[in-house]
Amino acid sequence: ANIEVSNSISKVLWMATLSPTSLPNWNRMRISVNTITQNRAKSLRRLLASLRNTYYVDDEVVPISFNMDSRVDAATLNAVNSSDAEPVLM
């Protein structure tokens, strides 16, 4: 008989290394992303794509905030205001 192992199992093997006191709290961590951006729209889009394509253990939303000054360029502002800048589903 063949046993099929889900690809997600390999992504949580680190849990076996947790100490007994840490194990009950492994799922309490929360992630948020605070991005400082001004004139690097291409890098910002790449970051957002990476966040979207990352495997997350839980099904929560990763809040993303952007810090920009008044010199932000139009392309970066467009990337922030686009649908790419919506919160990323974990």
Q: The tokens of 21 are what?
A: 């006191």
Tell how strand 33-36 and strand 64-67 pair up: parallel
- pLDDT tens digit string along 25-43? 877 777 888 888 888 889 9
Domain assignments of the chain as residue spans, ordered by start: 30-89
- pLDDT tens digit string along 62-88? 788 888 888 888 998 888 888 555 444
Tell me the C-alpha distance between 79 and 10, whole Å. 33
User: φ, ψ for residue 33 (rounded to 5)?
Assistant: -120, 125
Confidence at residue 1, expressed as pLDDT on a 0 to 100 scale: 58
Confidence at residue 89, expressed as pLDDT on a 0 to 100 scale: 37
Confidence at residue 58, expressed as pLDDT on a 0 to 100 scale: 67
Query: Any idea which residue has 């970066």 for tokens?
Result: 76
